[in-house]
Amino acid sequence: MFSTSTAPPAGSKAIASTALRNAGLIDKDTQMRDMTDKQGGRKGSSKISSHRHRPIDQFKNARPGSSSRTLTSSARISSSASHAGPSDPLSIRGASRPTAAGRMRRNAVSASGGSSSSSSLPTRVTITRGAKTIEFWREVVKKRWNPEIQFLNLESLIDDEVVKRHNLSSPGLGGGSAREAAVIFKLAGELKPPVKTLSLANNKLADLDFISGRKEKLLHLRELLLIGNPVRDFEYKNNRADRYKQELTRRFPSLEVLDSEPVAQISFDVQQAPAAIPVKKPDATTFPYPMSGSFITGVDGGLVSNFLVRFFALFDGQRGQLVDAYDPQASFSFSVNTTIPIRARVQGLHTSKELPNQRKLEWSHWLSAGEGGSRNLNRMHGGLERAVKSLHIGGDAAVKAFQTFPGTIHEIGGPPEKFCLEAFPVPLGANAGMGLLVSLHGQFTELPVDGVRSFDRTFLLAPAADGSRAKLNGWDVVILSDQWTIRAYSSPEAWKAGDLLVQAQAKSTSNGSASQNQLPQSVISSLPTEQQSALATIPEPQRNLVIQLMSRTNLNVKFAVDCLQNNEWNMDKAYANFEQVKATLGREAYL
Amino acid sequence: MTTIPSTTTTLTPSDIEIATRAADNFTRLFYTAYDSDTRLAELPQFYRQTSSLTWNGKPFQGVDGVRSLINDMPPTKHEVQSFDCQPIPGPQPPSLMVTVSGNVTHGKGPAGNPPNTPAKTIDGQPRVFSQTFMLLPDPTAPPTKPGEVAKYYISADSLRFVG
């Protein structure tokens, strides 16, 4: 199901696809197919090798990889209508599906000006639409758009007079042309005010791949009708109505009514209308509050630290033993954020000498670990099945997932500045008692590579009841929820208590810098720890000079001290000296 | 603290599906509101008087607390890179725990730094943030839309700059 095949546009002339591409209405590497593609001609494209014509395979079937995203096509509609003439709208072509994913299609041989009905040409003539087609579709959309009630009625397009008049190829028409649908949806997405109700009833749509709320920006769609389309009928007939509904609600997160049935959902009590009283636009240039240290309230700090120390000792050493710490209904999931952190990159943390193994770290085994993989709902392929599979319920399932992760060393008992914690009581629900929300941020060493990762782990805890499995195994609290995010290493300086800067501070110029007595704490605190320790050993007033030189030149403490010493602690001389020799300095001189 | 009541029901795929959609919706709505010019009007609507939140270790309480937090906060631009959501075992409709990881830029970003700022300066660069939410159904806000299970609000919110 959810498959598609392409039907060539009915009887149109060859026009370069550039117009459409330039209008951003189709992807750069796609092309339209033409009704008049002849059998035995040469195929204009290939999934494998993009630059050669190959013998046409008009009856291309079941290309498993070619369906986008999660839904693999099962049946493909293949064509035996190789003799279909240009005027036959129901002719169905072999189902090679033009996906956006970088399929290189040659512009056809038909650049020859492509007469669409030249049956003498052995080559496959790919004919593309031009700007005119977009305008025709715009006409159709405009005709069927009711801005007052924000209703776009695209039902039964095949019977539409404008469609017929311009010989437009209706999406879903005997199999569907993805290009047409893409054009229509792009136009729909541009309508103002935004489309709230969309009907695509009775259009012979067999595939949903080309309609996606996010891509086509139908983000305000409240109601959708797909009755009378094979894509719906097929799923219902095969007892997959639930899956059909889920796939649609996933594509259109704002959907409230589908095929006249309400969609079960959770909303947030936020009005979309603009505020009655105008409010101040945010324009502050400084943070109103500094960074504070760990925050624990409403609970004995010892209870929290005992839990964490024991939990991570077991996680590092004997994961199986953690099974008792989880409530039978507890859920565990993990999520991997593979983005390279910008500040860490700017500081060169992952290529620094202190962390020699960062480059050896890989994400692949994390992403596929845990019997269901990383649970990043932002980019979940695999739909609902995957969302379910990557959520582990109960201690046994959690521990089973743990066994698939690389070894870890958390060192919770080690230097405390490497970790940061929030812990406070929270209601579990209306009339459901209180739990304890514990968020820990820190780092661990990943084995065997011996590289460092950063993590955030949030637990929802409840007191362990007497006689419960948790209590009997020495746990004072039981885990109700455990969500673990693993990301590339970032320095724990991020949460070092003190003032936070929005922008960098203006640097002092070389004249008059001597008057600056005390540099802000935050400049010092942004230095790596071992640099700060080195600085701490230098007495005033030399220390200030060292810091000044460091911030002007980016030299590290050792080299800044050398430079100043060699210049009798005269800042201007030292800086000039630096300028003279900086071309010869290696990386070891700098921060 | 009391122990959780025994009216726990097993999570069904349908629960998970609704929770996933809700989290998706929520993260979009929340960060759009946070980054908007009308943040002061929009953001407090997500919270109630009973909400507790922390911002980099500093606690705030209720809708008034939210207002005092964001009143003088610089303009922001959030980029959500990963998020996860779990329904909490307990009474139906379930509470949700949502964790978000991403980047946040305050002010003008590196472009807003003074000229001659050394290239290796981290100030002004986007920070990595980690945020956890507890979303609870609001018993006083009856559903108003067809199919709506409940209206939810942020009961707890904890944010930290982590990179």
DSSP calls for B59-121: EEEHHHHHHHHHTTPPPEEEEEEEEEEEEPSSSSSPPEEEEEEEEEEETTGGGGSPTT--TT-
Is residue B34 within 8 angstroms of chain A, CB to CB? no
Question: How much is the pLDDT for A35?
Answer: 40
Pick from A30-39, A241-250, A385-394 the range whose average pLDDT is largest. Answer: A385-394
Chain A residue with Cα closest to B142: A269
Q: pLDDT averaged over chain A?
A: 75
Give all strands (DSSP E) within A309-450, no chain letters: 326-337, 392-393, 407-409, 420-427, 434-447
Decide if A494 and B162 are in contact by the 8 Å CB cutoff. yes
Give the integer Cα–Cα distance in Å for A487 and A340. Answer: 8
Tell me the torsion sign for CA atoms A240, A246, A250, A253. Answer: positive
Interface test with A, best of B46, B98, B101, B117 (most A CBs within 10 A): B101
What's the pLDDT tens digit per position in A141-198? 888 899 899 999 988 887 888 777 777 776 665 444 566 777 787 888 888 888 889 9
Decide if A430 and B136 are in contact by the 8 Å CB cutoff. yes
Which one of B22, B26, B81 has the shortest CB-CB distance to A378?
Answer: B81
Is residue B140 within 8 angstroms of chain A, CB to CB? no
- pLDDT at residue A315 is higher than 90: yes
Question: How much is the pLDDT for A57?
Answer: 39
- pLDDT at residue A86 is higher than 60: no
How distant, in Å, are the alpha carbons of A45, A382, A477, B150 from that of A4? 18, 19, 53, 37
Report the share of chain A in percent with pLDDT over 70. Answer: 69
Decide if B4 and A294 are in contact by the 8 Å CB cutoff. no
Q: Note the helical H segments in A473-556.
A: 521-525, 529-536, 542-553
Question: What mean pLDDT is predicted for residues A34-59?
Answer: 41
Decide if A266 and B40 are in contact by the 8 Å CB cutoff. no
Decide if B83 and A378 are in contact by the 8 Å CB cutoff. yes
Decide if B82 and A378 are in contact by the 8 Å CB cutoff. yes
In three-state form (DSSP H/G/I as H, E/B as E, the rest C), the secondary structure along A79-100 is: CCCCCCCCCCCCCCCCCCCCCC
Is residue B12 within 8 angstroms of chain A, CB to CB? no
Question: How much is the pLDDT for A462?
Answer: 94
Which one of A380, A427, A465 has the shortest CB-CB distance to B3?
Answer: A465
Chain B residue with Cα closest to A269: B151
Decide if B11 and A433 are in contact by the 8 Å CB cutoff. no
Chain B contact set for A434 (CB, 8 A): 1-2
Chain A residue with Cα closest to B9: A329
Tell me the torsion sign for CA atoms A314, A315, A320, A324. Answer: positive
Give the integer Cα–Cα distance in Å for A30 and A398. Answer: 45
- pLDDT at residue A302 is higher than 90: yes
Give the integer Cα–Cα distance in Å for A250 and A245. Answer: 8
pLDDT: is A162 or A311 the higher one? Answer: A311
Question: What mean pLDDT is predicted for residues A116-143?
Answer: 63
What band does A369 get if pLDDT is binned at 50, 70 and 90?
A: confident
Is residue B61 within 8 angstroms of chain A, CB to CB? no
Query: Would you tell me how many other CB atoms lie within 10 Å of the CB of residue A52?
Result: 11
Question: How much is the pLDDT for A2?
Answer: 34
pLDDT: is A570 or A125 the higher one? Answer: A570
| Residue among A44, A63, A148, A46 nearest A106 (CA) | A44
Which one of B1, B54, B163 has the shortest CB-CB distance to A425?
Answer: B1
Lowest mean pLDDT among A17-21, A135-139, A260-264, A303-307: A17-21
Question: What mean pLDDT is predicted for residues A23-52?
Answer: 44
Alpha carbon of A545: minimum distance to chain B alpha carbons (Å): 18
Question: What mean pLDDT is predicted for residues A281-308?
Answer: 93
Chain A contact set for B65 (CB, 8 A): none
Lowest mean pLDDT among A175-184, A223-232, A275-284, A395-404: A175-184
- pLDDT at residue A317 is higher than 90: yes
DSSP three-state, residue A152: strand
A154, two tokens: 């695209």
Interface test with B, best of A268, A279, A507, A552 (most B CBs within 10 A): A268
Chain B contact set for A303 (CB, 8 A): none
- pLDDT at residue A523 is higher than 70: no
| Length of chain B measured in residues | 163
Is residue B17 within 8 angstroms of chain A, CB to CB? yes
Question: How much is the pLDDT for A71?
Answer: 35
Q: pLDDT averaged over chain B?
A: 88
Is residue B97 within 8 angstroms of chain A, CB to CB? yes
pLDDT: is A124 or B90 the higher one? Answer: B90
Decide if B73 and A434 are in contact by the 8 Å CB cutoff. no
Question: What mean pLDDT is predicted for residues A532-549?
Answer: 82
Question: How much is the pLDDT for A351?
Answer: 87
Give the integer Cα–Cα distance in Å for B64 and A26. Answer: 49
Question: How much is the pLDDT for B85?
Answer: 93
- pLDDT at residue A121 is higher than 50: no
How distant, in Å, are the alpha carbons of A205, A206, A208, A494 from that of A3? 10, 6, 8, 48
pLDDT: is B118 or A54 the higher one? Answer: B118
- pLDDT at residue A77 is higher than 50: no
Alpha carbon of B22: minimum distance to chain A alpha carbons (Å): 6
Which one of A335, A437, A465 has the shortest CB-CB distance to B134?
Answer: A437
Chain A residue with Cα closest to B101: A337
Alpha carbon of A482: minimum distance to chain B alpha carbons (Å): 9
Decide if A270 and B163 are in contact by the 8 Å CB cutoff. no
Is residue B63 within 8 angstroms of chain A, CB to CB? no
Chain B contact set for A256 (CB, 8 A): 145-148
Chain B contact set for A282 (CB, 8 A): 37, 39-40, 70, 73-76
- pLDDT at residue A99 is higher than 50: no
Decide if A430 and B137 are in contact by the 8 Å CB cutoff. yes
Give this complex's ipTM.
0.93
Question: What mean pLDDT is predicted for residues B82-99?
Answer: 88
Alpha carbon of A258: minimum distance to chain B alpha carbons (Å): 10
Contact A475, B17 (CB under 8 A): no
Q: How many CB pairs under 8 A join A and B?
A: 363
Decide if A393 and B11 are in contact by the 8 Å CB cutoff. yes
CA angle B11, B12, B13 (to 5 degrees): 125
Question: What mean pLDDT is predicted for residues A519-538?
Answer: 75
Instruction: Give the predicted TM-score (pTM) of the model.
Output: 0.66
Pick from A24-28, A31-35, A156-160 the range whose average pLDDT is largest. Answer: A156-160
- Identify the DSSP state of B123: T
What's the pLDDT tens digit per position in A421-462? 999 999 998 778 899 999 999 999 999 999 999 999 999 999
- pLDDT at residue A212 is higher than 70: no
Chain B residue with Cα closest to A330: B89
Alpha carbon of A454: minimum distance to chain B alpha carbons (Å): 9
Lowest mean pLDDT among A138-152, A339-353, A382-396, A450-464: A382-396
A102, two tokens: 């970088």
Give the integer Cα–Cα distance in Å for A156 and A173. Answer: 10
A111, two tokens: 């650049």
